[in-house]
Structure 1
C-alpha cells in the first residue's frame, strides 16, 4: 500500500456472517477484493449467484471473486491487505496459509474476538500485523446469504498497529475499512482488544449456555448478575495483563475509572446499540451449527491470565466448565442451565 497502489489487492480469509458483509461493502465500493472461505458450499454459492447481504432496512447483492482455501496455493500476485475474520481458534493456521501470499509491505488485520493479534504477529511479523476490534451483530445460516443486523452507520471498528513504527500507516487502512462503518485508530490496541474481550466474556458463552437471545438473557435479573460477574473477572484479567480502562464502541470518555462500573457501561451500550431482539451471540450460532465456540479464547483466557497471577476467576471457570460439557455432548443446551449458573453466582457473593 503506497502512493503507487491506491486500490490495493485485498483478501478476506473467513467470509462468514461478519467477513462476507464487510467484504461486500468493499466490493461495492469498487475495491479489488478476494473472498477466501473454508465452507465449500458457501464458495460455490457465491461463485454461482453472488453474495446477498440482508440489512435492517435494505438488501445488498453483488458478484464476488471467491476462492476455496485450497486455492490459496494457486495465487500468483500477493495481497497488500488481508482481513482475517475466522474464529479465534483458527487464527494460527489461517495466518500460516496467508503468509506466503502476503506482500512484504502488507498487513494482516485481525477482525476477530479474543487476543489474536499476538498470534498473527508471531507468524507474519509485528510489522505486518494490525490488531482490530469489531462490533457488528450478524448471522449466516445459508451459503451465499448473510444477515447483518447493524448497517454501516451502527457498525464500529478500532485499529492499531503492533509495531509502533507502522502506526502512521494505520489511517490508510482505516480509510478503507470506513466503507463498512465507523473506524477509530487507537495507539493502545492491546487495551482496546481487552475491553472488547471483557464484554464478550460477559455475553457470548453465558447467554449461549442458556440457549437464548442475548437480550432475553440480560432481562433475567439474576442471570444478568451472572453475566456481569464474568465481565468483572475479565476486567481483572485485563488489568493484570497490563491493559488500561479505555472507551470503545463509540462510548464517550470514561467519567469514572472504576473498572466494574465501566464493565456495566460497555455491556449496557452493546445491548442498547448493537443488539436486536433476536440477536444470538456468535457462540450460540456456532453451537446450533454443531461447531465449537470460542470458549478457551475468551472465558478460558480470563481464567488462565488470572491463575498465572495467582488469582481466581470462579465465574468464568464455571462458564468454561459448562461450555465444555455442552461441546462434549454431556450437557444439553437449555434455558434450565441458568439455574446452575445463578446458584454458582449466589455462592460466590454470599
Structure 2
C-alpha cells in the first residue's frame, strides 16, 4: 500500500509536469523531477522551478535528474507521474519500471490513449489512467507559464484493473494540491472524451498557426474543428466508450453526441484557455518538435477505419500536419482552406 509520505517522481517536467510538480514540492511531498532537456535540469538545480500563474509566481526547489542519472536511483518510487508526449510513453515507462516499487503506481498525465501503453510495460494493476486539463507553455529552461490557476485546473483518474481502483483516491488526494481531481471507474471513456476535444483543437489550430481562440474565430475553422470532434466522438462510441462528463461539466443531459461535442469544446474555449493560449501542438512546432498527430487525430482515423467508417476531416488534418512536420508545408492561416475542403467532402456523408 502507498505510505503516508510516498516517494514520487515526475517523469517529464515540461510545461505541464513542471507546474504540477512544483505544487507537489511546495505541499511538502517527496518529489523528484526526471527530465530529458539538459538545460532545464541544470536551471532547476541552480534556481529551482519557477511557475508563473495568472495571479502569482511561485518557485520550488526540487531534486532534478537527467535521464542518464535514473540508473543511479537507489530507492524505488511509489508513484510515478508520466508527463511526456504520448509518443514517448513506452520508452519512458521502460526507463522507469526497474525503479518502481513492487506495488508502485504509474499515472499517465497525458493526452491520447496512453493508459494501455503504460499497462503493457508495468502491468495493468500498476497503471492509472488520467485526464489533464491545464493550459501552459514553456520557452526557457527553469520557467513554466501556467495559464490556469488551481481553481480551473482539472484532472480525472481511474485504474485499469478493478483491483487497483480502491487505491486511486489516495493518489487523487495527492494531486489535489494542484487542482480539482475526480475519481472515475470508467477512465477509458473519460480519456476518449478528452481525445474528442483534443482532436478538435490541438492540430487544427496549429495547422493555421494561430492561438486557439483566434483559430476558432477564423472563417470556416470553427466548423472544421467541430467536425473533427464529431468524427472523434463517432470513433469513441464505435470503440465502446460512453459519453461521460469531464472537466467539471454537469452530467450529460443530451442524447445527441454532436451537441455534447459542442458543449465540451465551448467549455474549453471559455474556461480552460485564454486569448493567447497556444495549443501544445503549436508550441511543439514552434520549438521544432513533432506533435501528437498520429496519437490524437490519427487515432480517430484508425479506430473508425477498423469499424468500416471514414474520418475525412481528421484524415486531412493528419495529412497536412505530417506535411508540415516534413518541412514540405508551412503552418499558416492559408491552410484553413485545405481543411475546409475536407469539411465540404465530409458533410454529404453525414
Category of TM-score, reference length = shorter chain:
over 0.9
Secondary structure (helix, strand or coil) at the match of 2:220 reads helix
TM-score w.r.t. length of structure 1: 0.98
Contact 1:245 1:257 in 2 (8 A): no
1:215 to 200, 213, 216: 213
1:42 to 30, 40, 43: 40
1:18 maps to: 16
* Match status 1:149 vs 2:160: no
Partners of 1:172 and 1:334 in 2: CA distance? 45
Secondary structure (helix, strand or coil) at the match of 1:246 reads coil
Q: Matches of residues 33-72 of structure 1 in structure 2 within 5 Å?
A: 33-72=31-70
Contact 2:220 2:336 in 1 (8 A): no
Partners of 1:272 and 1:226 in 2: CA distance? 19
- The alignment yields a C-alpha RMSD, in angstroms, of 0.7
Contact 1:11 1:34 in 2 (8 A): yes
Q: Matches of residues 291-330 of structure 1 in structure 2 within 5 Å?
A: 291-330=289-328
The count of aligned residue pairs is 348
Contact 1:13 1:83 in 2 (8 A): yes
Residue ranges of structure 2 left out of the alignment (5+ in a row): none
Partners of 2:219 and 2:230 in 1: CA distance? 16
Residue ranges of structure 1 left out of the alignment (5+ in a row): none
1:342 maps to: 340
Partners of 1:277 and 1:91 in 2: CA distance? 31
Partners of 2:346 and 2:30 in 1: CA distance? 53
Partners of 1:186 and 1:298 in 2: CA distance? 22
Listed one character per residue, the Cα deviations across residues 184-214 of structure 1 (whole Å, up to 9, x for unaligned) are 0000000000000000000000000000000
Contact 2:228 2:313 in 1 (8 A): yes
Contact 2:51 2:57 in 1 (8 A): yes
Listed one character per residue, the Cα deviations across residues 221-261 of structure 1 (whole Å, up to 9, x for unaligned) are 41100000000000011011110001000000111121111
Listed one character per residue, the Cα deviations across residues 130-178 of structure 1 (whole Å, up to 9, x for unaligned) are 0000000000000000000001110000000001011011000000000
2:109 maps to: 111
Partners of 1:258 and 1:344 in 2: CA distance? 23
Partners of 1:84 and 1:221 in 2: CA distance? 37
TM-score w.r.t. length of structure 2: 0.98
Secondary structure (helix, strand or coil) at the match of 1:61 reads strand
* Match status 1:285 vs 2:283: yes
1:80 to 78, 81, 87: 78
Structure 1 segments (4+ residues) deviating >3 Å: none
| TM-aligned CA deviation for residue 219 of structure 1 | 1.2
Secondary structure (helix, strand or coil) at the match of 2:155 reads strand
Partners of 2:116 and 2:342 in 1: CA distance? 33
